[in-house]
């Protein structure tokens, strides 16, 4: 059996165009990802500390025994 190797012959101008297209697509994907991450981070609270109790004592949950 003989193996055939197919070589895609493209010129330098086509290679530059394909490279530019890939860079542009990656740039757009990165921009969309950052935009989505920023909108998700706006939903995160500023602090995860529990709210301050005005009486100074920790609130007890008496429903669990």
Q: Per-residue pLDDT tens for 3-46?
A: 767 666 777 777 788 899 999 999 999 999 999 999 999 999 88
Q: Give the separation between CA 6 and CA 55, rounded to whole angstroms.
A: 79
Q: What is the pLDDT of residue 17?
A: 87
Which carries the bigger pLDDT value, residue 21 or residue 56?
A: 21
The label of the residue with tokens 């100074």 reads 56
- Kindly report the pTM of this predicted structure: 0.55
Is a pLDDT exceeding 60 seen at residue 61?
no
**What's the token pair of residue 20?**
């530019």
Q: Give the separation between CA 62 and CA 49, rounded to whole angstroms.
A: 22
**What's the token pair of residue 42?**
């706006």
């Amino acid at each position: 059996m003989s193996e055939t190797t197919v070589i895609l012959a493209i010129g330098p101008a086509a290679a530059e165009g394909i490279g530019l297209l890939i860079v542009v697509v990656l740039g757009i994907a990165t921009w969309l990802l950052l935009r989505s991450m920023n909108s998700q981070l706006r939903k995160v609270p500023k602090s995860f500390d529990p709210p301050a109790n005005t009486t100074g004592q920790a609130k007890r949950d008496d429903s669990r025994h």
